[in-house]
Amino acid sequence: PPDPRRTPDHGTVRVTLRTSQGPIGLTLDREQAPCTVQSFLHLARHRFYDRTPCHRLTAYPTLKVLQCGDPSGTGEGGPGYRYADELPTDLPPAPTDPTGVRRLYARGTLAMANAGPDTNGSQFFLVQSDSALRPNYTVFGTIDEAGLATLDRIAAGGIAATPDDPAPVDGAPALPVEICRATRGR
């Protein structure tokens, strides 16, 4: 269907995630993913992200990300709607993938998490270190230097051990991270 209000498709928008571990500044790119940026700003404006946990930290050799945006903290929650992918077409091949299937999601990339094609909602991930993924995740912005320093601190804290897994590579961050407030601007 036609877009009733014409989603802006050029320019950038700054958003700051004020977290319990420090600020994470984001620059959202409307040209790269106009619908994703519009949805993210809508959720931030309505305080959807405020007081929500960043529930997942990964430390695989080829995937080092912090995932946020689920109010339930389970990885299953969302805003009650889904929208289509705006997949990247210009990511370079991941140097660690000899098959050429995976793409480089570089350190500082902001992308949407999903549960398969066209299942974007509110969950997103922050790339702490170069990661190799299939190009199935909408890239919609970048993380500033202060945000990367915050991410590095969170990653250095490690992943919370559980009775089943004393040395996990995927799970809740050992340093609890809560988005206290998501605001437009610096």
In tens, the pLDDT along 94-107 reads: 999 999 899 999 99
Confidence band, pLDDT 50/70/90 cuts, at residue 186:
confident
Query: How far is the C-alpha of 4 from the C-alpha of 2, rounded, in Å?
Result: 6
pTM: 0.95
Measured distance CA(55)–CA(45) in Å, rounded: 21
Q: pLDDT digits over 128-170, tens only?
A: 999 999 999 999 999 999 999 999 999 999 999 999 999 999 9
Residue 121 counted as domain residue: yes
2 within domain boundaries: no
Stretch 42-69: mean pLDDT, rounded?
97
Residue 1 domain-assigned?
Answer: no
Residues 41 and 58: their CA atoms lie apart, in Å, by: 26
> Does residue 142 lie within any of the structural domains?
yes
Sequence-separated (6 or more) residues with CB below 8 Å from residue 102: 62, 93, 94, 96, 132, 133, 134
- Domains of the chain: total: 1
Q: Is 168 inside any structural domain? A: yes
Q: Is residue 106 part of a domain?
A: yes
